[in-house]
Structure 1
Amino acid sequence: MDGSAVSYERNLECLVRAIQELSLARDLDRIAEIVRSAARELVGADGATFVLRDGDRCFYKDEDAISPLWKGLRFPMETCISGWAMLNREPAVIEDIYQDPRIPHDAYRPTFVKSLVMVPIRSMAPVGAIGTYWATPRLANVREVGLLQALADSTSVAMENVQLYNELEQRVIARTQELVAANRLLYDEACERERVEQDIQRFSMTDELTGLHNRLGFLRHAAESLETSRQRDTPCLLLHLQVESNDSGPAENLPLVAARMLRAQFRRDDLIARLGGGEFLVLTTGYGDPHAVLQRLRAGLGAFNRAAEQSLTLRIGHAESSRGQDLEQLLQEADNALHRAGPGWSSD
């Protein structure tokens, strides 16, 4: 195998390597880096440049050369050899730049360039060009131009892949943002539904007038409290109260006044419920002697009447859970005790 054949084989290996690297490129900067180095190596050039079409101008994006060329500059398509290659969709092979009318000589005088080859990137509607330059006069042969054009064709594919990759990435980002927004909306809707359900449940267990538990709310919470007390071996005291007033004021004020009085007499952890009118239930634990509780309640009622200038009376029925009764049995005992109670008590 002669030297030229060995050299051509090496050039093919360089081209294959460049094509493989281009297939993995994910941005334009990486493509430019691969192309500028591969182009110079393929034909043994003293410089190579990667040019992009930017509207009606040529943008010299990157270069690899023995001295600076035009990196970062833009030139009109009609006055630039890279523009000529793109507009005519064919390579420009120039042995002596100063003998070719297509070359803007003033732009080349400050450079080392004497000969060049410029090939378009993509034959149909070129998007750029690859240029190689020599410091001494040299006419590139058909093989060299073919290698550069093959590199340019692979570069076109790589640029399209990058565009597709970027579009796909943007779609993924947009879709991810849509999913995040949808998930946030679903989460907000779920939270709102839960809040509404909690409100509905709370309203269904709350006396609208006084804000105390109603019968349903009392039954639910009292059953839980009774079970907890049973596990801790702590007795509960259930009070069934009938509050009345000797005042001649509006009857609708009685439940509010009675609720205010009961809140003042019992602890925050005690369950207080209004069944209707002036009828209330109270469940308390850790109360001590039940008769002492009743006495304190009566004393508190008297103090409340004097302070609030009210004349509330109170009938009390009570039941203790010390015998292991369930809630229904306690309610029945307290209700029976209320019916056996005498006239309402108002003061001590």
Structure 2
Amino acid sequence: MLHPQTTLLINVIQKLSLARELETIISLVKDTARDLTEADGASFILQDNDHCFYVDENAIAPLWKGKRFPMSICIGGWVMLNRQPVIITNVFGDNRIPFEAYEPTFVKSLAVVPIRTQAPVGAIGVYWSRHHCATAEQIQTLQALADSTSIAMENVQIYSQLEQRVQERTLALESANQSLKQEITERKRAEEEVRRLSVTDELTGLYNRRGFLFLAEQQWKLAHRHKTLYVLVFLDLDGLKKVNDTYGHEIGDRMISDLATLLKNNLRESDIIGRVGGDEFVIFALKKFGDSQELTKRLQLAINQFNLQEKRVYQLSASIGIVDCHPCENCSLEKYMANADAAMYMQKRAKKQARV
């Protein structure tokens, strides 16, 4: 059967092996040192440059907790400097003891062992209020505690370093992850912009030919399913070449943009509008008029109002062709576009003949 002191030492060594903070070690060691030696007090001392720092204590009365003493006049310093334990049965009969520090205390006898015999980092001191000579067994047990304390302190330092590395690595990974998220967001934004540009006319913001055909085809499929009538309108901006030649392409671009804005302002959001050529526009709209030509009249009226209200060096004018799109007919959207284009050219020729 193990001696109670041995059992106590084994238990505390196990606890020290699991300690992850210096405060935990200090608390365990000061309490255990006093119990192992049946002393009236115990101190945990750390080397602080050329001073002994009395970090904490467990005693029947206050000792030196929180105080610092030069190593040259402190018995704890003597133990660390000489790397060996010390036993003093009468503190007032040993010239290594600073009497003025001990006189106010209960201490009559003491024993101190170094924490780590090679390059000590601290010491454990135990004190008695009576004259007592620490036994070899007590010193051996106390030194075993000090050796385990040294290992535990090294483990805490290693654990702290590892924890710091983990934190630094975690921060680095979080930073990399954040950068990756930002890159993904920027890439998605760029992809969306590419997709937008791939179906949008940059000058007017309307759909280009590709975008118009894609959306109109989807709408045309729904029209087939629900037997819904649509109209397809083809517009050609009159006089664009003359404006470009006379005033330059910047004014010509403004003329194109004016017509695009006019169309957007006078059609429903559900209507699909596209610029499919330099001066060519196309509209795919739900038919809600008794006569398809009513839409043509509305657009022509809007153009006339624009010319009256806006002071431009040009007059907006458009040749318009319109066809009904019947879902029951076996006709493609591009065929309807061709028919509307043909109707537009008929109107354009009629305008030229009227001017002649």
Compute the TM-score of the two structures, normalised by the length of structure 1: 0.90
- Alpha-carbon offset, residue 293 of structure 1: 2.0
Q: Tell me which residue corresponds to 2:344.
A: 338
Measured against aligned partners, the alpha-carbon deviations of 1:255-285 in whole angstroms (never above 9, x if no partner) come to: 2232233223213342221122321011223
Q: Tell me which residue corresponds to 1:121.
A: 115
Q: Tell me which residue corresponds to 2:236.
A: 242
Do the aligned residues in 2 keep the contact of 1:51 with 1:130 (CA within 8 Å)?
yes
Distance 2:226 2:140 in 1: 93
- Alpha-carbon offset, residue 342 of structure 1: 5.4
Q: Tell me which residue corresponds to 1:131.
A: 125
Q: Secondary structure at the match of 1:17?
A: helix
Distance 1:136 1:345 in 2: 127
Do the aligned residues in 2 keep the contact of 1:229 with 1:285 (CA within 8 Å)?
no
Distance 2:226 2:318 in 1: 35
Range moving further from structure 2, 268-277 or 87-96: 268-277
Query: Residue type matched to 1:302 in 2?
Result: N
Candidates 85, 92, 97, aligned match of 2:86: 92
Q: Tell me which residue corresponds to 1:58.
A: 52
Matches within 5 A, 1:190-269: 190-230=184-224, 233-245=227-239, 249-250=243-244, 252=249, 253=252, 254-269=255-270
Matches within 5 A, 1:1-348: 9-230=3-224, 233-245=227-239, 249-250=243-244, 252=249, 253=252, 254-285=255-286, 287-289=288-290, 290-308=292-310, 310-323=315-328, 325-341=331-347, 343=349
Query: Residue type matched to 1:21 in 2?
Result: K
- Alpha-carbon offset, residue 296 of structure 1: 1.7
Range moving further from structure 2, 225-234 or 12-21: 225-234
Distance 1:286 1:115 in 2: 110
Change (3 A) 1:136 1:46: same
Aligned residues: 340
- Alpha-carbon offset, residue 193 of structure 1: 1.2
Query: Residue type matched to 2:308 in 1?
Result: R
Distance 1:246 1:57 in 2: 94
Distance 1:117 1:246 in 2: 107
- Structure 1 spans left out of the alignment, 5+ residues: 1-5
Distance 1:242 1:276 in 2: 9
Q: Secondary structure at the match of 2:276?
A: strand
Q: Secondary structure at the match of 1:60?
A: strand
- Structure 2 spans left out of the alignment, 5+ residues: none
Distance 1:194 1:76 in 2: 66
Compute the TM-score of the two structures, normalised by the length of structure 2: 0.88
Identity of aligned residues (%): 43
- Alpha-carbon offset, residue 42 of structure 1: 0.3
